[in-house]
Amino acid sequence: MNTHSGATAQVSGSEGANPEPKRISGFVLASPKAKKETKAQRIERLKQGKNPWEALDEIREFARKGRGSVLPEWTSLYFRWWGVYTQGDGVGAVGGQGGEGKATDYFMFRIRIPNGILRSNQLRTIAGICKRHARGSADLTVRQNIQLHWLTIEAIPEAIDELEKVGLFTKGACGDVVRNVTGCPIAGVAADEICDASRLVLEASEMLAGNGDFYNLPRKFKISITGCPVWCSYPEINDIGLTAVERLRDGKREVGFSLRVGGGLSADPHLAARLDAFVRPDQVLPVVRAVTEIFRDQDKLRDNRKRARLKHLFTQFGWTPHRFLHELHSRLGYALDPAVNESAPVDVYRDHVGIHRQKQDHLFYVGASVLRGRITHEQMRAAADLADRFGSGELRTTNMQNLLIVNVPRGNVDSLVRELDRAGLRVAASPFWRGAIACTGTEFCKIAITETKSFARWLVEELEERIPGFDQQLKLHVTGCPNSCGQHWISDIGLEGKKIKQGDEMIDAYYFCLGGAVGEHQRIARPIGYRCAASEVPDAIERLLRSYTANRFEHENLRVYFSRFSDDELRGQLAGAEIPSVKRDLPSAPVPHHVTGD
């Protein structure tokens, strides 16, 4: 049996301490000094000692005895396997030491939504938990999850049980496991989809989440399977990205999937490598399992938490797509067919916001843009009620932190849009509102450097007021630290949180990265060398966008415009003058990757 899966080993909590000193002729000899256990070694030891998915009773016991009974290895590690993190104190990384801030007695609680598919009764259940235990507020995440805060230890087992009754789970939403498996949120209803891949998403999730063979991976592992042509689940930044393609065989149309591996962002972004493979639908689950096993069994990825993702086989250990495919074929026991030509999507929004015709006659889906993903329990309940009233009771969450209602008859569309707007869920939104993404920030995250959620709202409102006529697609992403939970590396304008000194104070600031994209013109955003105080960010973006509207060529979008200019020139457009470049100023202490997000 693989040492990283299956039955857990019984490991003492003191393993790794100094051995007993030796005795010779009545004398005690000094023991050789034990080498200090690294963070990675400690985490690997704890993971081998316990499969947290088998230890729900321990969480129940903590809830009975209270917060003081929770063991350190649970707060620092095991809770994550149940979608639970300790919550920061609102100060972020600068309030603690070693790159990690102080924790409170409260917890973050992440609910896994495979493919983003929700029923109205499920959303009402989440809204009820949110109202009772999370101070009425929740976040839609960039992996189609719903995340709550302010839960006490006493509330966690109750919330887990309540969710399970309606078919929802937190198991596998965090930790060194396969995270929520994402897919196109309009699978099965999209008029232009190549195939409905949602069944494969749900089956992959069922196969991997809670499976003891995969409870101990080197780090988190992300999977996307989509049948849509716009790749709205971002296969380019997943560990496994499967995108639907078509081929002709014996004169007949056959649908299969392209396969990409090794995508990921964080502080060292890497876009996924496409393998020379055509994956038939019946091969998808075996391929997903085999790739996950390849990752699980790479012991060299367990030595350093900063180099523990699948992408690091390519960036640190010299693997090539050809080598990976050879290993995959060895695992499968057969060779996949060669890849077919594939056209990556052009520059389009991937958020599904607005009113769209479905493949079903006379039915539409309506997408509401949820600014920075922040949603109240009243809004969730309203959306659930509206889905019942005007649709079929079905909703979807998206990777752009938005909410959709599907299966809406033509005659109900206008009424639904009015009611959503009344609830504060905009269907018609400005490019700034629609394109804004924000991570959790210092409000709740222990490794964040800046506050992001309120800042993102203020920034959008400022830009809407300053440039009301701006009508170009814009991805404006705010991330509170280098880990890119806000995905600033693939945005038009990416803002990375920093601190700068102003007088005697350290204040929030942002470093600019420009020109990131996925799809046909995929590229990682360029660090431009410009940083300013958070309060000055609207001024800088206004100068940049006014320069763009004044100097762009006809039909030239932001991605192409940015590519025409050097870093120095773009920095000058942001600053309004020629200024020297500043470094990204990465933290001197290692970023604690064990607490990074979705």
Residues annotated as catalytic (active site), given as ranges: 110, 219-220, 480, 485-486
Ranges of beta strands (E only) in 2-67 are: 23-24, 27-28
CA distance 170 to 187: 23
Residue 114, both tokens: 């495979």
φ, ψ of residue 215 to 5 degrees: the values are -80, -20
Pairing of strands 436-438, 476-479: parallel
Q: Give just the sign of the alpha carbon dihedral 441, 453, 397, 120.
A: positive
Amino acid in the structure at residue 27:
F
Are 125 and 114 a contacting pair, CB within 8 Å? no
Burial class (CB in 10 A: 0-12, 13-18, 19+), 48: middle
Among the listed residues 207, 256, 261, 257, the one whose alpha carbon sits nearest the alpha carbon of residue 238 = 261
Dihedral of the alpha carbons of 328, 329, 332, 333, in degrees to the nearest 10: -150
Distance CA 319, CA 327 (A): 10
**Token reading at 413:** 């569309």
| H or E stretch at 530 | strand 526-533
Hey, what are 451's tokens?
């506050």
Report how far residue 149's alpha carbon sits from residue 128's, in angstroms, rounded to the nearest whole number: 14
10 Å Cβ neighbour count for 538?
A: 18
Question: Contact 202/223 with Cβ under 8 angstroms?
Answer: no
Closest C-alpha among 152, 141, 108, 148 to residue 126: 148
The residue whose two tokens read 């993971």 is: 47
Q: CA-to-CA distance for 121 and 109, rounded, in angstroms?
A: 19
Contact (CB, 8 A) for 141 and 598 = yes
Check if the beta carbon of residue 273 is closer than 8 Å to that of residue 261: yes
Those residues with Cβ within 8 angstroms of residue 224's Cβ, 6 or more apart along the chain or in another chain: 181, 182, 183, 233, 234, 235, 238, 240, 241, 242
C-alpha to C-alpha distance for 461 and 433, rounded to whole angstroms: 8
- Torsion of Cα atoms, 335 then 336 then 337 then 339, to 10°: -130
Residue 245 three-state SS: strand
